[in-house]
Amino acid sequence: MRWDIFCKVIDNHGDLGVCWRLARALAGAGDQVRLWIDDASALAWMAPRGYPGVDVLAWNEAPIAAENLCVDKAPDVLVEAFGCDPAPAVVEQFANAMSRDGRKRCWINLEYLSAEPYVERLHGLPSPVFRGPGTGLTKHFFYPGFTPATGGLLREADLQDRRAAFDRKAWLASQGIDWQGERLVSLFSYEPPALGSLLAQLESAREPTRLIVTAGRATAAVRALCPSGEPGGALSIHWLPHVPQEDFDHLLWSCDFNFVRGEDSVVRALWAGAPLAWQIYPQDDDAHHEKLNAFLDWLGAPASLRRFQHGWNGFANSRLEWPDAKELAAWALACQGALARLLAQPDLATSLRRFIAQKS
Ligand code: TRH
């Protein structure tokens, strides 16, 4: 099959991260994928080696080259990520191909991830197109999600095997981390209001912790609180440069606790199986509070983890308190239970293929 995936980078890296992962998953199964993207700059570190079968094409003001609009390149499936309105020339190519060969092709609107109940309700619903070259066609909403009644989550078929064969110490050494058995905590975040409190608690903890801080906003946030880059007490920091997505997974697999943010890394942290805290992408009117609580409900988060998550996300009247051993064990159990539930469900690329097969 031929797939065209359209993606606009709003801010941060989640849109591209998700679309790249989906493109890889489809191409890995033998399909041809074109990823149209308005700003591909982050792929230089996220996917420096590219992937066979995935063509990354610039989506900008310039007219699309005729060679990309020829008949034999018309997509079987048009994926519009997060309602980004695909290029009219490609929609026209898609519509023409459909009326020419009479074959049913699919237009998918891939939505944002949420555990809220509306996802199950809206997943798979049709949406008629009323304007532009696609007028008269029908798109379908495809919602990623955490339950079998949704589109599922992106998960590579060999993920668990790769994780089982992973050599933590060797990977850490390859990143210049001389690990001596101390607790490892990863930090991928925006600017969490409780970051100062976390650093202070880890500094004064009995157990030594090495915080591995990812590049970009997390690094800037920690540096703003700790300009020397060297905290005291039981806490030490390793500053990680931007790494490819595979190494981002390795980071999560290496750590005993993962702080993640946005929608792609929280899924990767679930696959890693260790306890996690999620800094959710902030939305107007605090709509993200409900989204976080829906996730915590689905996770079966113990009360102490809920409090911690609320504190990390700056909910009013909440304080961040690093867990004791018993609490941490309960958080780990919840995360492992969630992982087991997810592994019993089909992954997103598989669900998407099934959905398309049904529709066509
Ligand atoms: O970057 P994000 O905050 O993206 C956000 C969210 O997805 C949010 O919901 C969305 O609306 C907004 O973008 C526009 O977090 P996320 O989703 O986890 O994406 C980060 C991606 O970057 C993920 O694919 C992992 C990848 N990554 C690397 O590959 N290497 C790195 O070194 C780092 C730090 C990240």
Question: What is the DSSP-derived secondary structure letter of residue 161?
Answer: H
Ordered DSSP codes for 94-118: HHHHHHHH----EEEEE-----STH
- pLDDT the model gives residue 102: 78
Report which protein residue has its CA nearest ligand 1's atom 30. Answer: 243
Ligand 1 atom at minimal distance to the Cα of residue 17 = 24
Report which protein residue has its CA nearest ligand 1's atom 5. Answer: 14
pTM over 0.75: yes
Ligand 1 pocket (Cβ < 6 Å) reads: 10-15, 17, 46, 188, 214-216, 242-245, 248, 261-265, 281
Ligand 1 atom at minimal distance to the Cα of residue 216 = 34
The 10s digit of each residue's pLDDT in 293-304 is: 999 999 999 999
The 10s digit of each residue's pLDDT in 203-236 is: 999 999 999 999 999 999 999 999 999 999 999 9
Distance 263 CA to ligand 1 centre (A): 7
Write down the mean pLDDT value for the chain. 96
Ordered DSSP codes for 32-44: EEEEEES--TTHH
Of the chain, the end-to-end C-alpha distance in Å amounts to 13
The 10s digit of each residue's pLDDT in 315-330 is: 988 899 999 999 999 9
Q: Is 71 exposed, middle or buried (0-12, 13-18, 19+ CB in 10 A)?
A: exposed
Report which protein residue has its CA nearest ligand 1's atom 3. Answer: 262
Structure tokens at 310: 């609320």
Domains of the chain: 2-152+345-359 (3.40.50), 160-343 (3.40.50.2000)
The 10s digit of each residue's pLDDT in 331-346 is: 999 999 999 999 999 9
Determine the Cα–Cα distance for residues 330 and 292; give it in Å rounded to an integer.
19
- pLDDT the model gives residue 120: 98
- pLDDT the model gives residue 22: 98
- In the residue annotation, 263 being an active-site residue is answered as yes
Alpha-carbon distances of 112 from 14, 18, 143, rounded to whole Å: 10, 10, 7
Taking 50 as the pLDDT cut, the residues of the chain under it are none
- pLDDT the model gives residue 316: 87
The 10s digit of each residue's pLDDT in 89-113 is: 999 999 999 999 878 899 999 999 9
Report which protein residue has its CA nearest ligand 1's atom 34. Answer: 214
| Residue tagged active-site, from 4, 15, 80, 249 | 15
- In the residue annotation, 246 being an active-site residue is answered as no
| Residue tagged active-site, from 80, 263, 264, 327 | 263
